[in-house]
Amino acid sequence: MNTTAKLMIATLMGMAASSAALADDVPYNQVQSLIKDGTIQSLDKLDKVATDKHPEATITDTDLEHEYGRYIYQVELRDAQGQEWDLDIDATSGELLSEERD
């Protein structure tokens, strides 16, 4: 293997490792402990933040990630018009961080 190929592989491996360190899915069995300890709000409260923003929408998927030292609750919604929305909510404070239409 030549030097250029080795450098490319090393760079790609480093990028993969750094991105994995930035965002990790929180295992489901750990979520209840985080709620009980008061580290994050209940999933019902976090779901309500999303549905308050889009009252006629249905939640289609959720995910809790640990990113940059904070817990982010990611919610996917489908509204009455069939539009899909992605919301990021700070799982500790309940603050809506971002909202994007797919």
List, for residues 71-82, the tens digit of each pLDDT value.
999 999 999 999
What pLDDT does residue 90 have? 98
Query: How far is Cα 21 from Cα 13, in angstroms, rounded to an integer?
Result: 12
Instruction: Kindly report, residue by residue over 41-91, the tens digit of the pLDDT.
Output: 999 999 999 999 999 999 999 999 999 999 999 999 999 999 999 999 999
Threshold 0.75, pTM exceeds: yes
